[in-house]
């Protein structure tokens, strides 16, 4: 299979980076994401994992991908996939105001933009994610935009994923 690439963007800020799918390490997750593209949603900045931005989506795979190429210590440029039950995220501590409800399932597509991340949540413990992509171009500009998002706020910003 030829290498596949996507563009990951912070739409309002006009920042885009390119990522290579890790088909050899997470083939089921890569296929699920690829088939669902394009995707876009409200962006959030992590509270617990540190240097992470992400968007939440309804499940889009015909069946939930297994944990592939797992990590609890993502590095700069990693794209990770998580699936959560709404009850796991549906508390006021997380700050979601609409799509997170008990009885729902959510897919979290995340981009890690700097070092020293640890997927340890005080409520549930370790939260391993599937590393399904790696930023190959534009990480430095994206990291600057992510820091701006952290400092000035995420309201009105969209994180989008589309085929390159």
Percent of the chain scored above 90 by pLDDT?
Answer: 79
Q: Say what the pLDDT of residue 122 is.
A: 80
pLDDT in tens, 61-110: 999 999 999 999 999 999 999 998 866 766 655 656 556 666 678 899 99
CATH numeric code, 5-163: 2.40.100.20
The yes-or-no verdict on residue 1 having pLDDT over 80 is no
pTM, entire model: 0.93
Separation CA 65–CA 128 (nearest Å): 13
Per the prediction, the chain carries an average pLDDT of 92
pLDDT tens for 35-53 read 999 999 999 999 888 999 9
Longest Cα pair distance anywhere in the chain, in angstroms? 44
d(CA 20, CA 79): 10
Let me know if 41 is exposed, middle or buried by CB neighbors in 10 A (0-12, 13-18, 19+). middle
Residue of 112, 100, 109 lying closest to 161 (CA atoms): 109
125-148 pLDDT, tens digit per residue, is 899 999 999 999 999 999 999 999
Domain coordinates of the chain in residue numbers? 5-163
């Amino acid at each position: 299979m030829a290498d596949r690439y996507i563009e990951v963007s912070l739409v309002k800020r006009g920042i885009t980076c390119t990522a290579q799918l890790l088909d050899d390490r997470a083939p089921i997750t890569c296929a699920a994401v690829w088939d669902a593209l394009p995707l876009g949603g409200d962006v959030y900045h992590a509270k617990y994992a540190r240097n992470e931005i992400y968007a939440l989506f309804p499940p889009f795979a015909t069946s939930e991908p297994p944990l592939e190429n797992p990590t609890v210590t993502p590095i700069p440029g990693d794209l990770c996939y998580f699936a959560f039950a709404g009850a796991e995220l549906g508390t006021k501590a997380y700050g979601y105001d609409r799509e997170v409800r008990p009885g729902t399932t959510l897919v979290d597509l995340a981009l890690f933009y700097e070092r020293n991340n640890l997927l340890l949540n005080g409520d549930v413990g370790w939260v391993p994610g599937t590393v399904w992509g790696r930023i190959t171009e534009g990480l430095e500009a994206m990291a600057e935009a992510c820091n701006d998002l952290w400092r000035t706020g995420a309201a009105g910003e969209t994180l989008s994923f589309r085929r390159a």
